[in-house]
A and B are shown apart, each in its own frame.
Chain A
Amino acid sequence: MLQVNEQRIIFHSGTTVGELAKKYKPTADLFILNGFPVPVDTEVLDGDTCTFIQKGVTPSPDEFEIFLTARHTPGIQKKIKQSTVAILGLGGLGSAVAGAMAKIGIGKMLLSDYDVVEPSNLNRQHYFVDQIGMLKTNALRDNILRMNPSLSLELIDKRLTEQVLPGLFADVDVLIECFDDPAMKAATLRSILTRMKNVAYVGSSGMAGFGENNAILTRMERPGIYIVGDETSEARPGMGLMAPRVGIAAHHQANQALRIILGVAKGRE
């Protein structure tokens, strides 16, 4: 069998990529075989996956899913697609985490922030100049749907308190804490430990300035509870938050969430 875009078809030996494309996607001008671009005269083998693309045309959500599956292998992509994460705070950490989770094709994301995009955010947060003044939830939705149109999103644009967290987030697989405010960081972990005992947690503490790359760590506080950062570099006058180091921490968080989803890092006990 062959996988050609969304379809499974019978394999015949000697068939070339060009012949298949002519039949199944005549308008294609880019020919991907098992994840890599190839010339049209390349012969396919049984079990191959062909993806034919017309440059400049947006693929459908189904087509997009097939691209991701080809990249990630089917078993892994299925687990990612079935998972839900919540991202609390859509600043330098949260906007970058959301981008990473969007690109790997996470099934569902709950995105939470009450704030609007301000000029001072743009030194590190993944928004555009023409989005200043928009709610971060709406701006980030627009941006990540351009990265992956098949995402399922839930936007929460109210200010959160410790009391409301379980009602909103108790059903997610992984809660990724990306708040700026240390009191909300502590409140979130407290809520996770006492009232959300099945939800894995990836929190953050200490990523301001331009200190050592390798001081940013992912520490397991206990099974299913992880804290990312150097745990000392506090954002303050003279040591601001900057895109490179915040990005390191954000991608530690995103990768840890992925590791939990795939079962290679410990979940809650």
Chain B
Amino acid sequence: MNITLNGNNKSLQKKSSVLDLLKDLQLTPETVVVELNTTIIQPDSYDSTDIGEGDQVEIIRFVGGG
């Protein structure tokens, strides 16, 4: 399955939820903002939201310190 992740093409091996994708990318779910086809996904829906063929995914990642 092919998606667009932050403007770049990415292939996913299997059906994935948002949470699966974040794990695959080794990102901590609490420290990112995820937008799926222009909708912001709330963290409590990461597990239940599936990513489909051709979806546009934007992930904004934060690192600690301030």
Contact = CB atoms under 8 A, between A and B. Distances in A.
Interface stretch (A9-17, A36-44, A47-55, A199-207): A199-207
Given A92-B66, A231-B61, A233-B65, A182 B40 contact: no
Residue with the greatest number of chain B CB neighbours at <10 A, chosen from A190, A221, A236:
A190
Interface size class of B (residues with CB under 8 A): 10 to 19
Interface string A181-195: 111011001100110
B66 A89 contact: yes
Given A91-B66, A181-B64, A186 B30 contact: yes
Given A185-B31, A186-B30, A190-B33, A180 B64 contact: yes
Interface in B10-46: 28, 30-33, 35, 40, 42
Given A229-B63, A233-B63, 6 more contacts: A94-B66, A180-B64, A182-B30, A206-B65, A207-B65, A231-B61
Interface of A: 89, 91-94, 178-183, 185-186, 189-190, 193-194, 203-208, 221, 227, 229, 231-236, 241, 246
Interface of B: 28, 30-33, 35, 40, 42, 60-66
